[in-house]
């Protein structure tokens, strides 16, 4: 089933890769360049999943997740956090903030598809 997925990343190349990969799977993709923009889009669109980068200017990934989880529309929406490090403390922090899952960069399109499938079915 086609889903609307929001990708939030300050890196246009990663956004592009995420968008192309998920579009090829038949999903709608919305893009945002930082957490703040992402929050604006997440709270005004029906979003089925969010893929958010950790390291971003203006509002980073964890801050985004905390803020978005305050918004009622985030209920049940899986959020996948992208990081370059796989660090336990970070994962705990992300989970505490409300992340559903994470993915470590670099990842390839197949991995992305399987993670999205894992969180959205």
Partner 1 sequence: MTRVDPAETFRQEAQELLEQLETTLLDLEQAPADRELVDAAFRALHTIKGSGAMFGFTAVAEFVHGFETAFDRVRKSGQPISADLVTLALQARDHVDGLINDPDADTAGGARILTALDAIAPQEGGASDASVAEPVSTAAADGVAGRWRVRFKLPADALAMGTNPLLRLDELAEIGPATISALTDDIPLLDELDPECCYIGWEVVIEATDPQAAIEDVFLFQGDDLDLEVSRIDEPAGEAAAVPGDAPEEKAAPRSEVVTATSAPAAKAALLRVPAERLDALMDQVGELVIAQTRLSELTADGAPPALQGIAEELERLIGGLRDTSMGIRMVPIGSLFGRFRRLVSDLSRSLGKEIEFVTSGEETELDKTVIERLADPLVHLIRNAVDHGLENPDARVAAGKPAAGTVRLAAIYSGAEVTVTLTDDGAGLNAARIRQKAEENGIISPDAEMRDEEIYPLIFAPGFSTAAEVTELSGRGVGMDVVKQTIEALRGTIDLTSEPGRGTTITLRLPLTLAIIDGMLVRVGDGRYSIPMAAVEECVELPASAVDRRGRDFLNIRGQIVPFLRLRELFRAEGETSDFQKVVVVSAGDARVGLAVDQILGNHQVVIKQLSRLHSGLNSFSGATILGDGSVSLILNVAQLIGMGAMKRTPAGIEEREAA
Among 3, 66, 95, 113, binds partner 1 (CB under 8 A): 95
User: Shortest Cβ distance from residue 92 to partner 1 (Å)?
Assistant: 6
Whole-number Å distance between alpha carbons of 60 and 52: 9
Q: Is there binding between residue 14 and partner 1 (CB under 8 A)?
A: yes
Q: With 0-12 CB in 10 A as exposed, 13-18 as middle and 19+ as buried, what is 25? A: middle
Residues whose CB falls within 8 Å of the CB of residue 95, separated by 6 or more in sequence, listed in order: none
Binding residues for partner 1, rule: CB under 8 A, are 10-14, 16-17, 20, 33-34, 36-37, 49, 53-60, 63, 69, 74-79, 82, 84-93, 95, 98-102, 104-107, 118-121
């Amino acid at each position: 089933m086609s889903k609307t997925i929001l990708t939030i990343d300050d890196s246009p190349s990663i956004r592009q890769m995420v968008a192309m990969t998920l579009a090829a799977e038949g999903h709608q993709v919305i893009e945002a360049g930082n957490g703040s923009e992402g929050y604006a889009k997440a709270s005004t669109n029906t979003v089925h999943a969010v893929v958010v980068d950790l390291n971003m200017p203006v509002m980073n990934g964890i801050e985004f997740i905390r803020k978005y989880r305050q918004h009622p529309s985030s209920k049940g929406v899986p959020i996948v956090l992208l990081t370059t490090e796989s660090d336990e403390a970070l994962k705990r922090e992300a989970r505490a903030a409300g992340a559903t899952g994470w993915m470590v960069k670099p990842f390839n399109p197949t991995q992305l598809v399987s993670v999205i499938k894992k969180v959205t079915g």
